[in-house]
Amino acid sequence: MTPDEYCQDKAAKSGSSFYYSFLFLPPERRRAITALYAFCREVDDVVDEVSDESVAHIKLAWWRSEIDRMFEGAPTHPVTKAMQPHIVSCDMTRTRLQAIIDGMEMDLSQSRYLDYPALRKYCWHVAGVVGELSASIFGYTDPRTLEFADKLGLAFQLTNVIRDVGDDARRGRIYLPVNELQQFNVKAADILNARYADGFPDLMRFQVARARDAYRDAMRALPDADIRAQRTGLMMAAIYYALLDEIERDNYQVLHQRISLTPVRKLWLAWKTYVSGGRPLVRKLRG
């Protein structure tokens, strides 16, 4: 199996919504974004699958060293071997890749976030940076597009937080800010034990409204000149925004199940956004 095939397999098996948007990219850019996605999955799996915290720290330290080896021209892992050819053309900086690992490491030492600014910092590490790297892979002409990518990464991560409340609780993590739980009179024990407190729908309605605002902020930051180049990110946005609608229709029943869209619907949303050039979605979300 070649490094590119390894990354392709990793992405396909994940079942991620992102994978459907990658299919529409030209081969070179598709290989680059698939390698980046595989890297994110590898380091995220360390945190999610390694039960011994000290071992997880050791594994993440190994990935830090592997990033250094990649930039020195001597990668040893299939993912970094696949990423290396795209370092210059896609502006894959060492600082950004290390920042992603920083975010994953936060999950080893922190399972609660006091307020939204604290959560926002975490989101930048695990999603905003990825958005910036992705925007560089897709291509842009206006530097303001990186601001769009950062804001869109935030919107994606806030959507993940909403979708995965139950899954995260089963790992002992609650990403919903503590002060907001208190505001809506929802106890951490309710979340951890999958109990739908009276205030839970209002709490989640508040979270969804903030995520929608993040999508609007992202679209307003996207320069018109780069809308077409950023179609892949917009395909992801179409899928994730529809997921928010689905969660809302299901009355925020996220503690005992993981709400998702069918593969056919994801592919349809990606295709519709691709053929339209992304402009209708941008106009819709700008409001």
| In the chain, domain spans | 1-109, 112-287
Q: Does 112-287 match 1-109 at the fold level? A: yes
Strands (E), the chain: none
Whole-number percent of the chain with pLDDT over 70: 99
Q: What is the mean pLDDT of the chain?
A: 94
Query: Which CATH homologous superfamily contains domain 1-109?
Result: Farnesyl Diphosphate Synthase (1.10.600.10)
Tell me: pLDDT of 207 over 70. Answer: yes
Residue 49: predicted pLDDT: 85
Arithmetic mean of pLDDT, 93-109: 93
User: What distance in Å separates the CA atoms of residue 183 and residue 197, rounded to the nearest whole number?
Assistant: 13
pLDDT at 248 over 90: yes
User: pLDDT digits over 42-94, tens only?
Assistant: 999 998 888 889 999 999 999 999 999 999 999 999 999 999 999 998 889 99
Q: Rounded distance, CA 258 to CA 161, Å?
A: 11
Instruction: Give which of 151, 148, 211, 149 is closest to 175, Cα–Cα.
Output: 211
- The pLDDT score that the predictor gives to residue 91 is 86
Confidence at residue 15, expressed as pLDDT on a 0 to 100 scale: 65
Q: Which numeric CATH code is attached to 112-287? A: 1.10.600.10
Per the document, the length of the chain is 287
Query: In which element (H, E) is residue 241 found?
Result: helix 231-249
Least confident of 14-28, 92-106, 115-129, 266-280: 14-28
